Chain A
Amino acid sequence: MPRRTMIEAIRDAMDVSMGRDEKVVVFGEDVGFFGGVFRVTHGLQAKYGKSRCFDAPINESGIVGSAIGMAAYGLKPCVEIQFADYMYPAYDQLTQEAARLRYRSNGDFTCPIVVRMPTGGGIFGGQTHSQSPEALFTHVSGLKTVVPSNPHDAKGLLIAAIEDPDPVIFLEPKRLYNGPFDGHHDRPVTPWSKHELGEVADGHYTVPLGKAAIRRAGSAVTVLAYGTMVYVAQAAAEDTGVDAEIIDLRTLLPLDLDTIVTSVKKTGRCVIVHEATLTSGFGAELSALVQENCFYHLEAPVARVAGWDTPYPHAQEWDYFPGPARVGRALRETLEA
């Protein structure tokens, strides 16, 4: 089976979707002729023409707002916001427009758009190229939020997102674009070409939205993670020798609660990790759900490991990033509690 990087897998998902459905259009800043600053859309304009893949003005509100209009017309836009940190000008369009169009018009108009955006840090991007704003989307009724962690899932989830009848926020962990980063920033990264999850089938397939994957079976503690933190959790389990069951959520909304509850009832312990800031982060929602659904099975308090509640710093990136050492400490403390 061919191996692809995350970048190639995501590009392939758009390529397959554009080839199958002429209603799929792709646009964003630097997305057309050049193929995007991360090169994700490289070659799509040459293959499908300027009407299907084109450059947009630097105006995120305009990109999302025009995509909503296109979707109301009947197209299926898959747009790129260059960095998730740049989405704030589009937040009104996403939360009050895209998310509510079906509801407020009672299905008279719908909004099948996908908004892709590179998320997370680990590339010395500073405060405006490193944020993880997923909780700002999961809090909004009417949006689906997806965070893939590997090329196989990224392609299948993106095709599923493009085919979904509702708006989907597709957060691409940029630190994973070229390899499964485990948080040890001083060690070389294994390229996707040498990783089994870099195997990406040609042609059309989907990974359904709303289904988690168990990345590592274990019995001592359940770890809930997504995106980059899946690999950090794996590294922490290996470093500490804790028999952790690591769940890759893949879709945050709709959430695969059944997989979470089954695992926590089995292990009796739960550690939640995300790169986004702690307070009111998605981990708070996960923690509440675990408490509500697994309270009588819990043998220890639910622990959260997350980014500190500061802006994402530049020089102190690796002090900020919730790496394997912090996750490993939480695993041990949860076992000893």
Chain B
Amino acid sequence: MADAGMLRFHVPEPEVRPGGTPDFSNVTIAEAGSVPRPDIDVDPRTIRDMAFSIIRVLNRNGEAVGPWAGLLSSDELLEGLRHMMTLRTFDARMQMAQRQGKTSFYMQHLGEEAVSCAFRKALAPGDMNFPTYRQAGLLIADGYPMVSMMNQIYSNEADPLKGRQLPIMYSSKEHGFFSISGNLATQYIQAVGWAMASAISNDSRIAAAWIGDGSTAESDFHSALVFASTYKAPVVLNVVNNQWAISTFQGIARGGSGTFAARGLGFGIPSLRVDGNDYLAVHAVAKWAAERARSNLGPTLVEYVTYRAGAHSSSDDPSAYRPKTESDAWPLGDPVVRLKNHLIGLGVWSDERHAQAEAEILDTVIAAQKEAESHGTLHAGGKPSTREMFEGVFAEMPAHLRRQRQQAGV
């Protein structure tokens, strides 16, 4: 019955706060293999229910099942596992380096490694990602040198960005990785513009836009959906729903909508949800969306359902706003463990080989770290020159900046 009494102000709250028992019983999770795989030229109106389900390939026994399975060879899966393990090790070392005062700031991917690592393998050379700060797997999986990433994190004399950017705000056009801004959602509409330019130029390259659950509330997210829809831009619109925007649970950005994928429906954009901790599912859905984009079928919105197992950044302490054990209760598990178990089930991997790979990867990361630190860290050793601070504001330095550089005595 309608309630026409005094108006009440509504503020959504997460199910549980610190001290409580984690509870994800409200998260409906489809059985692996149960969601159909439509043709890429499907009428978007007939697959609206996909915005409310979850595409999954790996079942509880670690088997790959259903219509989204079977795209990757075991060698490709082994490579994917190595990428995720490398990213996790890289994160651990850099997080520690930040704690040791070697840099000012760090952001890790713990629990979300599958999203960016698997997505990268669905793209073709020349495609362009417009990432957020939590997609370094795009670089790792494309073979970008870890030393260059560390040089950037340390803002040292070999930093490809000359010490101008906050740690982890990488840029590599060569590796299809657009310069990270550090403010939020701006890259989403830029990705659509890049894709429009590719179509205007009758090119074959596509763009991928990235955003987190919290930043979908920004107006640039909606700008991007309008433009992508209007111009049928060849872009994959990725939403990484890791449940938490710093301390704010995803319900504050999502509001009354059932899912983030559902945001795409009003724009007529095919919108899918996928198990973000399932390497095979992420890759299969990314491949489907990329094929649609490349076939002039327009944008696809993909929501990756995952969980930010770590802190938002090195400046954040999640125990202040969510139960410490919530990560363990997350029902979609750990992406590394799940792929590892799948590969063991296939007979191409073992606990021993996994432990050996962990040790090898750690050695590789430590070697890269030593090399990077030979070029300096934020507060010690080689650093970019103050003179370089004045360069690159414009293609040619205008007179007022030359005067200021003289005043600075450099």
**Interface residues in chain A, defined as those with a beta carbon under 8 Å from any beta carbon in chain B:** 25, 51-52, 56-57, 59, 61-62, 65-70, 72-75, 89, 92-93, 96-97, 101-110, 141-142, 144, 165-166, 210, 253-255, 257
Q: Any chain A CB within 8 A of the CB of B173?
A: yes
- A73 and B198: CB pair below 8 A? yes
- Taken together as a complex, chains A and B put the C-alpha atoms of A59 and B223 apart, in Å, by 7
Cβ–Cβ < 8 Å partners of B230 in chain A:
57
- Of the 9-residue stretches B16-24, B302-310, B322-330, B391-399, which lies at the interface with chain A? B391-399
Cβ–Cβ < 8 Å partners of A75 in chain B:
197, 200-201
Q: Write the chain A residue with the least CB distance to B174.
A: A108
- B395 and A66: CB pair below 8 A? no
Given contacts A51-B200, A89-B219, contact A109 B191 (CB under 8 A): no
- B196 and A70: CB pair below 8 A? yes
Q: Any chain A CB within 8 A of the CB of B190?
A: yes
Least distance between B88 CB and chain A CB atoms (Å):
27
Q: Which of A65, A109, A144 contacts B193 (CB 8 A)?
A: A65
Cβ–Cβ < 8 Å partners of B172 in chain A:
108
**In the A-B complex, the 5 residue pairs with the closest CB atoms:** A69-B193, A66-B193, A65-B189, A62-B223, A105-B179
Cβ–Cβ < 8 Å partners of B183 in chain A:
92, 96
- B227 and A62: CB pair below 8 A? yes
Given contacts A103-B392, A108-B173, contact A65 B186 (CB under 8 A): yes
Q: Which residue of B172, B196, B398 has the most chain A CB atoms within 10 A of its CB atom?
A: B196
- Taken together as a complex, chains A and B put the C-alpha atoms of A69 and B130 apart, in Å, by 9
Q: Write the chain A residue with the least CB distance to B161.
A: A106
Q: Write the chain B residue with the least CB distance to A109.
A: B179
- A105 and B227: CB pair below 8 A? no
Mark out the residues of chain B between 159 and 209 whose CB falls within 8 Å of any chain A CB in the assembled complex: 160-162, 164-165, 169, 171-173, 178-179, 181, 183, 186, 188-198, 200-201, 207
Mark out the residues of chain B between 254 and 284 whose CB falls within 8 Å of any chain A CB in the assembled complex: none
- Taken together as a complex, chains A and B put the C-alpha atoms of A57 and B189 apart, in Å, by 13
- Taken together as a complex, chains A and B put the C-alpha atoms of A103 and B390 apart, in Å, by 9
- B181 and A103: CB pair below 8 A? no
- Taken together as a complex, chains A and B put the C-alpha atoms of A66 and B196 apart, in Å, by 8
Given contacts A106-B392, A165-B395, contact A69 B220 (CB under 8 A): no
Q: Any chain A CB within 8 A of the CB of B45?
A: no
- A104 and B164: CB pair below 8 A? yes
- A108 and B171: CB pair below 8 A? yes
Least distance between A126 CB and chain B CB atoms (Å):
24
Q: Write the chain A residue with the least CB distance to B200.
A: A51
Known: A61-B223, A65-B189, A75-B197. 15 other contacts (CB 8 A): A25-B197, A52-B200, A62-B189, A62-B220, A65-B188, A66-B196, A69-B191, A69-B207, A72-B178, A73-B194, A97-B181, A102-B393, A109-B173, A142-B394, A166-B395
